[in-house]
Amino acid sequence: MESVPLTHIWHYTEVDRAFWAEHLEGWLPQRLIDAHVHIADPSLRLEPMTDEKRRQHWAAEVSDPMTAQTLEHCDRATFPGRAVEHLAFGLPDLDFDIEASNDYARGQCVEHSWHSLSLLLPQWSGERVAEELDKPGVIGVKPYYSLIGRDPATRDRYIEASIFEFLPHCALEVLNERRAWVTLHVPKADRLGHPDNIREVKEIRRRYPGVTLVIAHFGRCYTEPHAREAFPALADDTELYFDNSAVLNPVVHRLALKTFGPERIVYGTDNPIFYMRGRRRWTGRRYINQTNANLHFNKDREPPEVEARYTLYMYEALRAIGSTCEDLGIGPDKVEAIFCGNAERLIRRVSARDE
């Protein structure tokens, strides 16, 4: 069979079909909810993508805006025989028209019977947040520190910000009252385990218990040291949730499942980024991305015969989840909860606010 174009430079190939058949087909549930995926209309970009910007961060180099139609096409290729739904939102990037991006994501999600989160601009008043939650299909917000302000030189100008600088209290008051969903990408170079993050996450949970708070990417804990620093501090809050998007490390998945249990974890891809081909290595608190493409960040190359066997990052993440669940004796019902049931339960709970 011929390769199938996905997004950016990536294709779905015979290597991926074989990987799916060997490692994923036998255990992945028939229905999936991807609770962390980005869709965007490329025409809403205000500032052009440049080679200089792509060099700033590997994620910028491996993805382009993905429309809802492209996402559907990719679902058919990468999840054969599965029914896939999405909790989707735009790209948290001030190079795009954020208001129009929210409208695009919302409209496409309504059309496809998905759900959406609106990108939260920190400057919004409480009244403006309420207006956004009133729109059809919107069940919450996606705050991000890069939305504090634009810096053409780096996306991480505000990485050391307080959570409350990009998820302000005036917004949280409305989100709490409306019992909305918040997917939180935590700041800090030290990731979730930074004492300020732990303290502020606990403050959100204490002051705004009506918010369904989902910590994205396991708090950006992609390495074992980061996970060991962060997870125990948040273990006891049974109403704090995590998405496992963009995490390839089996050790991190094991720690998360043992610490939080499968009931507090929802599946996400972080696509279009994870259509990238390759694999990830970990050294202490660092991770190294490897791919078979000639990209600026890709300095640590492997022999061509090894790179020829690379599959999609999203498949490597799925294998890590599946093998970890098997090792821990997590049965099909709990696996189904991670991939569908938990997100469905939370979406139903959040959506009930309007009934």
Express the helix, strand and coil content of the chain in percent, nearest 5 each. Answer: 45, 15, 40
pLDDT of residue 274: 98
- Residue 87 pairs with which residues in a beta bridge? 115
**Does 107 have pLDDT greater than 90?**
yes
Which CATH number fits the domain that encloses residue 185? Answer: 3.20.20.140
**Does 48 have pLDDT greater than 80?**
yes
pLDDT of residue 193: 98
Report the pLDDT averaged over residues 248-272. 98
Q: Write down the mean pLDDT value for the chain.
A: 96
- C-alpha distances in Å from residue 6, one per residue of 74, 82, 111, 248, 274: 6, 17, 22, 20, 11
- The per-residue pLDDT for range 173-185, each reduced to its tens digit, is 999 999 999 999 9
**Does 153 have pLDDT greater than 90?**
no
Helix (H) or strand (E) holding 106: helix 98-112
Q: Is the bond into 143 cis (omega within 30 degrees of 0)?
A: no
- Residue 182 pairs with which residues in a beta bridge? 141, 213
**Does 156 have pLDDT greater than 90?**
no
Query: Where does the pLDDT of residue 53 fall: very low under 50, low under 70, confident under 90, or very high at 90 and above?
Result: confident
Non-local CB neighbours of 116 within 8 Å, separated by 6+ positions: 87, 88, 89, 102, 105, 106, 108, 109, 110, 137, 138, 139
Report the pLDDT averaged over residues 183-193. 98
Query: Where does the pLDDT of residue 56 fall: very low under 50, low under 70, confident under 90, or very high at 90 and above?
Result: confident
Non-local CB neighbours of 259 within 8 Å, separated by 6+ positions: 231, 232, 235
Counting residues of the chain whose pLDDT is more than 70, the rounded percentage is 99
In total, how many domains does the chain have? Answer: 1
Closest CA to 14 of 301, 250, 277: 277
Closest CA to 332 of 248, 262, 268: 262
pLDDT of residue 151: 87
Report the pLDDT averaged over residues 294-316. 95
- C-alpha distances in Å from residue 70, one per residue of 74, 231, 238, 272: 6, 35, 36, 10
pLDDT of residue 353: 65
Report the pLDDT averaged over residues 57-77. 95
The domain in which residue 349 lies consists of: 4-354
**Does 355 have pLDDT greater than 70?**
no
Query: Where does the pLDDT of residue 354 fall: very low under 50, low under 70, confident under 90, or very high at 90 and above?
Result: low
- The per-residue pLDDT for range 234-244, each reduced to its tens digit, is 999 999 999 99
**Does 112 have pLDDT greater than 70?**
yes
